Chain A
Amino acid sequence: MSDIGDLIRLAGRRPEPPAFRAARVRAAVEAEWRRTLERRRWMVWRWTFVAAALAVAAYWFHPTARREAPPPPQVATVVRVEGSVRLVSSPSAPRLLTTGDRLVAGAVADTTAGGRAALQLASGVALRIKEGTRIVVEAPSSVRLEHGTIYLDTKSGASASRRIDVRTPQGTVYNLGTRFEVEAGSGAVRIRVRNGQVRVDRAGPEVRVIAAQAVTLLPDRRVEWGTAPPFGKEWSWVEALAPPFVVEGATLESFLDWVSGELGLTWRYADRPAERHGHAVVLHGSIEGLTPQEAIEAVLPTCGMSQRTSRGELIVARAAR
């Protein structure tokens, strides 16, 4: 054996733990880390209260808390499936996903057979998976994209954006805003931001992508910039997987918030009379099976209103009599 290089070559590459095991452990450890941070903040806040501190210490040193590994937490619920989507959490037990399935940490969803799906992560983030994609849901706020295309809406049904990170072969994408798409293939990763912004941590300078921008991260570390209008045909796969909106009892304005978000538009009333009328409308019925575009075309006429789009704006007016 001649030198260090020979020794290392003889040993070969160190084996990596299986991805599904790494994902399960990561989810559990990350959850424990967050609980610990919360406990730490709480302890600092209450430090002067001796009784509370003793209670924390009792929990800290409790034998069962130390010895038992928490079971893998549920991280997502399947809200929509089109075609065949396989769940490959363990190599020995692949099966097809169906609406309502609950996924645990480490679940691998595979749409390479031609299907697509929408998931609701336990963190509140909406995740849509295009055809030809394979992802690992590692935690409620962490997804690993092996290849294919996913779309994330971190403000789905909420007033504030939620945290998510997407691990890709070219770095980790952190959301600083609300809606974006990540596509991985042939060693490159493309990111399109619909609104808000994302940050990418990778070797080399940090990359930030803002709304209406697209960036491609190439395997040789080069970065190519482009534009990505937040609306249009390129987003049609995302709109087709929109989670169902319950119209019955909803206000017209909440419906307009949902539909404009799905179409990548902002919305406004055309004038004061339209606003006064629209403000009072409560909807009834169902839009099940309709895309957001089909839904708005179906709903507004029943409210005596009409709509048009101009430069990324959805303008809602009173219908002509």
Chain B
Amino acid sequence: MTDTRDTDRALVARLLSGREEAFAEFFELMFPRVYRFALARLGEREDAAEDVAQVTLCQVVRRLETWRGEASLFTWVCTICRHEIEAWRRRHPDEAFVELAEDAPEVRAALESLYTLEPGRTQTAVEQRELASLVQRVLDHLPAHYGSVLEWKYLDELPVRDIATRLALSEKAAESLLTRARAAFRDAVIAIAPDLAPAARRRGYGETS
């Protein structure tokens, strides 16, 4: 099984050697996630999110050689992005401040409420948006391709065979990737809301295609 960091290391090595397809892969993998990461923290200001994402990724390609692989590439990119968001806030002191959602206690509570909802209970639009936003950010923080694989499986309802084709993998490898993606998603949810551990284990893990 290939570790995510091995995949990241291979991508960085190809970027440093100037491989064109590596740049395309890097950009497609990172930009949407960094943009959403910034957008959520900048009060949904699209221009600001674009600027911050651009400066962040320019920094990343400049400093690629300094990435040691101790954290995942996206985690490292997020660290740089946080600095750039802070810099943007310093330059725009009059703009409203947005607290990091993942660190806010109420987000934990919101996620916990998702699992304790009575069947049939109608959620408010605000609750729905907050939960949706949180789940989407969890997907963004998963290792490369995990978020996409889960969306293909559960939103597009693609069979494993088609997922395998999209990723140029064998069906067995795609099934394994899907299992790891589910486990990573579950672990990420549990990391945010430890009280959910029993429910997430019981309900989400070991699911088959």
Contact = CB atoms under 8 A, between A and B. Distances in A.
A11 B203 contact: no
A8 B150 CA distance: 8
A47 to B, nearest CB: 14
A8 B139 contact: yes
Contacts of B139: 8, 11, 14
A26 B16 CA distance: 17
B191 interface: no
A4 B165 contact: no
Given A36-B62, A69-B55, A174 B35 contact: no
A25 B155 contact: no
Interface in A1-26: 1-5, 7-18, 21-22, 24-26
A30 interface: yes
Nearest to B111: A7
B61 A14 contact: no
Contact of A28 (B54, B147, B155): B54
Interface residues of B, number: 57
B100 interface: no
Contacts of A60: 62
Contact of B31 (A1, A26, A37, A174): A26
A42 interface: no
Interface string B113-155: 0110100000000001001111110011000000100110111
B108 interface: no
A207 to B, nearest CB: 13
A69 B131 CA distance: 33
B154 A8 contact: yes
A257 interface: no
Contacts of B140: 14
A109 B72 CA distance: 38
A305 B114 CA distance: 83
B140 to A, nearest CB: 7
Contacts of A14: 32, 36, 136, 139-140, 147, 151
A4 B207 contact: yes
A33 B61 contact: yes
Given A3-B207, A13-B155, A36-B62, A30 B23 contact: yes
Interface in A39-69: 40, 60, 66-69
Interface in B162-209: 165-168, 182, 185-186, 189, 200, 203-204, 207
A6 to B, nearest CB: 8
A36 B23 CA distance: 13
A204 interface: yes
A165 B117 CA distance: 50
B50 interface: yes
A9 to B, nearest CB: 6
A1 B121 CA distance: 11
A249 to B, nearest CB: 38
B96 interface: no
Nearest to A65: B62
A21 B57 CA distance: 14
Contact of A21 (B20, B46, B186): B46
A218 interface: no
A179 B147 CA distance: 38
Given A11-B139, A26-B31, A165-B24, A3 B204 contact: yes
5 contacts: A1-B114, A8-B139, A30-B27, A165-B20, A174-B20
Closest 3 CB pairs of A and B: A11-B135, A4-B204, A33-B61
Interface of B: 15-16, 18, 20-21, 23-24, 27, 31-32, 35-36, 46, 49-51, 53-55, 57-59, 61-62, 64-65, 87, 114-115, 117, 128, 131-136, 139-140, 147, 150-151, 153-155, 165-168, 182, 185-186, 189, 200, 203-204, 207
